[in-house]
Structure 1
């Protein structure tokens, strides 16, 4: 659902905490009852994720795919090794590949790949995974606490901003390739957008502290732009 079509920027901003906690499903957005929001999200997880998707692909071992999703919940913004996931879940890499492909096709998660053009030090092998809806992400771990009581605000914020940016690209028909950027010496940019020959790097921060662009990024991609997305300027980025 395109939020900007049904509410003003001021209304979106006022409901930011709700969006981070409960997500953006229409049935969730249109009710003010907290318990109804939680009930609906749990129903989606229990019926759609645990039943419909698994039955659709003939998967019988539902515990494994649920545990896979729960591992992804806590690794938002980090590179994911399919081999390592398989080791943690006692599954083959091929099975992990199959499950993740199914979850992507079912619009539960999506991935960003690393951007690499010039530097040998740039990381591009392992992707990062994000959830299409933060409410589903929170339902998987049964955590609907207020932001003041959470230690995962950074992950929620990064996930929310990136998925809302992808929605904006779709609704406004912005042609773009999307990546993250990271080097082996831990210099990174959360979101890189390549559109119509223009390269923009975006660092996504919950705090309003000033952040400088990585020197290697500026030196390597001299014609690129760099911006920091915070609570002070995010609305223009996603609407």
Structure 2
């Protein structure tokens, strides 16, 4: 829901409908205020809604989880029972398992929450085979533009992708792209004026630390976690040295690893593992971390449109833009026809590729460039990876996303695409 009350259709709606037809329980997770409750309320107008943000309801569930859920199920004639902020209860899983084991109908419960409570050891297996988990991310460019979800990855995974299959990319200027990065993807916050928006994003982080973190894991040093969040915003699109972070935060390395896991579970950051061909011994194995929302990252770093001008911090644009593109690709993965995974790659001699999309039979290598021009030299690592590096012998397509306006081919399955191509319609 936007500030003026308009509803932005979410592309995950179709996946949510399919999940309800396939599973007895659907678990919808994602960052707070990203639109989970709005999505399920819009979709299930006949469902029964309860929220565990209500302390009285939470206390009743904790005191008698099976009795309360059974009562709700008996009273519900049609539509699912929707339990908002489900991560606040540790007793839901076993009670729900008992109910859905007796009644095997699909689509009985929909859970929403900012973290996935069902990954803890005591409940990890309780709903196996009975539940499907979906993640709702911040808005994509396509959702903001109210167009169909992009199938650009499916396009690139073809044997012979053609630029003629892509609809014309939106003509966006460098200023337009910077505004997209600064706006972020939270439906209500992104439409505020810059100053108010960034204050709201910083307040959002404080609320997550003060409230949501405790639902995942109690921590002794919230100030240290807040410091770590600031550091992750400054290091978005980088491989993270946890020993270095531990020294900066004056924490044990194990504590930093624990805090990073919390941020992952709260969908504040995402982790892209290193791609390996199996036999590549010289590849660097560290994962790369991306701040999930560039608007929040920019707010924490006090960045505005003037920050990227010559004389200030133009280099800051590169990391934010890479995280933005990774986020767009990541959010469209469930909507592609194929099953794909995102990785990054870097060798010991400093060759690197921002994203390697593995489709099993094919690879798509992706570079992100924060400039309005592109040249053959921008494909040098992609070409080496495909012809001499660990990608040789695999069918590959190389993509360079940049801030220009033209879609271009550079031969041998290599293409330069405007970042706005991530909203292009594809004819397959």
TM-score with structure 2 setting the length: 0.51
Shift of 1:12: 7.4
Distance 1:212 1:172 in 2: 25
Q: CA deviation at 1:6?
A: 4.3
Matched, 1:53 2:227: no
**Equivalent of residue 150 in structure 1, options 300, 313, 316:** 313
Match of 2:297 among 129, 132, 137: 137
Structure 1's unaligned 5+ residue stretches are: none
Please say if residues 368 and 400 of structure 2, whose CA atoms lie closer than 8 Å, have aligned partners that are also in contact.
yes
Which residue number corresponds to residue 123 of structure 1? 284
Q: Is 1:237–2:422 an aligned residue pair?
A: yes
In 2, Cα distance between the equivalents of 1:135 and 1:68?
Answer: 17
Partner of residue 165 from structure 1, selected from 329, 354, 375: 329
Structure 1 residues 19 and 173: alpha-carbon distance in aligned structure 2, compared to 1, 3 A threshold: farther
Q: 2:385 aligns with which of 211, 217, 221?
A: 217
In the alignment, is residue 183 of structure 1 matched against residue 350 of structure 2?
Answer: no
CA contact (8 A) 2:368 2:401 kept: yes
Deviation for aligned residue 1:5: 3.5
Q: CA RMSD in A?
A: 2.4
Give the match for residue 18 of structure 1. Answer: 179
Q: 1: distance between equivalents of 2:241 and 2:196?
A: 36
Structure 1 residue 174, shift from structure 2 partner: 4.8
Q: Distance in 2 between matches of 1:197 and 1:28?
A: 41
Q: Shift of the alpha carbon at 1:224?
A: 1.8
Larger radius of gyration: 2
**How many positions carry a matched residue from both structures?**
236
Q: Alpha-carbon deviations, 1:71-119, whole Å to 9, x = none?
A: 2223233221222322332212211111011100001001111111132
CA offset digits 1:156-213 (Å, max 9, x no partner): 1111111111112234465211111100000000111012521011111012232123
1:137 CA drift (Å) = 0.9
More helix by share: 1
Q: TM-score, normalised by structure 1?
A: 0.87
CA contact (8 A) 2:183 2:191 kept: no
Q: Which residue of 2 aligns with 1:74?
A: 234
How many Å apart are 1:30 and its aligned residue? 3.5
Cα offset for 1:42?
2.2
**Alignment partners' CA distance in 2, 1:2 and 1:145:** 20
Q: Tell me, yes or no, if the aligned pair for 1:65 and 1:99 is still in contact at 8 Å.
A: yes
